[in-house]
Amino acid sequence: MNILTLDVKKRLLIILAMLSLFGLVFAQGTPRPQAGDYQAGMGFITITSAAGWYIHNGTSWQTASVPLSQQAPFYGNIYSAQPIYIDADFTHMGSFYNTGSGSVEVIDNSTFTIGSTSNFRLNELYINPGTKVVNNGTISSSSTYATITMLSATNMNEAPVLENNKNIQLAGELNVTNYGKVISGPLAKIDGVGRINTGNYGAEFTIANPGGYNTAFPISGAHNVRNASFIFNGTVDQVTGDKLPTPIHSLTVDNGNKLTLSKNITMTSEAVTGLTNPTPTVLVKDGNTLDVAHFIISSNSDEPNAVATFTLSAGATLATSHVDWHILGKGRHKSHPKRFYSNEHCQLFQ
C-alpha cells in the first residue's frame, strides 16, 4: 500500500464524517430541510448562542448568526445528531429530529415547551433539577432506546418536572430519579413498549385523566415505580386505575369531585424528608370525595413505629361499600393497627 492510497482513504474518511454530520438525520426517513430550518454542528451547542448552528437557505446549510432563543416560538424544524442544551425558556412549534447520538438537555432553570404543532423525535432527553419540559404536541421515539431521564434533586422544591398534555410514545425508558414530578393532563398518555423507573423515594405523579394511572401511563413495559406519591386533580370524577403501583407514599384527592379506588392500596411506613408530604399520607381535600368501594387501604408494616396518616379535610367526604364500619378516632393517626379499611371495621380520621 503506497502513500497515495493512504491519502485517498484519509480524504474519504473526512468526506464520510461530513456526510455523517450533515446527512445522517435525512438517511433515517426525516424530511428534507426547508429554508429557515436549523441543524446542530459540533461542539458545545446551546440555544442562546449561534455558535455551532447552521441555517438552511432553501438550497444548502449556511452558518447561523441568530440564536434560536431569540426566535422563540420557533416554527422551523431542528435537526440534531449531537448533544444540545436548552439554556433558556424556549417554545418550539416545528418538528425536532433528535437522532443518532444526539441528546437534548434542559439546564439553567429553563422551561422547554414542545408546542401543539410540534413532533419531537426523541433519542435522549435530560431534565435537570429546577427545569421543566412541557409537552403540548407529540413526542415519539427515534430509536429503540429512546429515553427521558429526570435527574435527581435534593427535595421537591428543586424537582425536575415533566408535564405531558398530549402524547409521548416511548420505546426506551422514563427514568424519574429521586425527587421528580410527572404531570399528566386530562387527555395525556405515555405509551409505547418502554418502561417506567423511579428512584427509591421522591417520585410524584399528578394525574388529571379520568381513567387514572391506567390511561395516563399505558406504557407496556415494566413499571418499576417505588414509594411514589400520587395526586389526582382532574375536573371530573376519576378512578385510581388497577395498575396503580404500590406501595405508595401518599395519595391526595384534589379534583373537586370523586376519586374511586380500583384496587387495594398499600402505604409505605417511613417518613421521607424533602417531600410535599414527608409522612406517608392519604389526604382528601375540602370539596372532594374518596370512594374506597370495597377495597382496603393498609400500611406495609405492623411495627408500632410505622408512620402514616389519613386526613379527611373539613368539607371532604368519605364513601365506602363496607357494611360494618365505625369512627375509631380523630386527628392525625399513625397507621397502627395496620388496616385503615376492612370488612370488619373502617377507620375514619377527621
Domain ranges of the chain: 36-319
State the residue for C-alpha cell 415533566.
Answer: 162
Return the pLDDT at 350.
31
Return the pLDDT at 323.
55
Question: Do the strands 53-56 and 61-63 form a parallel or antiparallel pair, or are they unpaired?
Answer: antiparallel
Task: Indicate if the pLDDT at residue 266 is higher than 80.
Answer: yes
Task: Indicate if the pLDDT at residue 263 is higher than 60.
Answer: yes
Task: Please state the rounded mean pLDDT for residues 136-150.
Answer: 95
Return the pLDDT at 106.
98
DSSP category for residue 30: P
Contacts of 230 (CB under 8 A, 6+ apart): 204, 205, 206, 207, 213, 240, 244, 248, 250, 251, 252
Q: What angle do CA 72, 111, 76 make, to 5 degrees?
A: 30
pLDDT tens-place string over residues 178-210: 999 999 999 999 999 999 999 988 999 999 999
Task: Indicate if the pLDDT at residue 2 is higher than 80.
Answer: no
Return the pLDDT at 305.
67
Task: Indicate if the pLDDT at residue 328 is higher than 80.
Answer: no
One-letter amino acid identity for 31?
P
* CA atoms within a 13 Å half-sphere pointing along the CA-CB vector of 54: 21
pLDDT tens-place string over residues 52-85: 999 999 999 999 999 999 999 999 999 999 999 9
Return the pLDDT at 69.
98
C-beta separation of 349 from 310 below 8 A: yes
Return the pLDDT at 258.
96
Return the pLDDT at 334.
35
pLDDT tens-place string over residues 218-245: 999 999 999 999 999 999 999 999 999 9
User: DSSP for 244-305?
Assistant: --SSEEEEEE-SSSEEE-SS-EEE--S--TTSSSSS-EEEE-TT-EEE-TT--EEES--STT
What is the band of 29 on the pLDDT scale with cuts at 50, 70, 90? low
> H helices of the chain, where?
3-27, 213-216
pLDDT tens-place string over residues 313-327: 988 999 888 655 433
Return the pLDDT at 19.
41
CA dist., res. 129 & res. 107, Å (int): 8
Return the pLDDT at 303.
73
Contacts of 300 (CB under 8 A, 6+ apart): 247, 266, 267, 268, 269
Task: Indicate if the pLDDT at residue 345 is higher than 70.
Answer: no
Q: Which three cell numbers, joined as nine digits, stand for 327?
A: 369512627
Give first-to-last CA distance, the chain, whole Å.
87
126 three-class SS? strand
Report CA-CA distances (Å) from 145 to 222, 224, 337. 14, 17, 45
C-beta separation of 251 from 282 below 8 A: yes
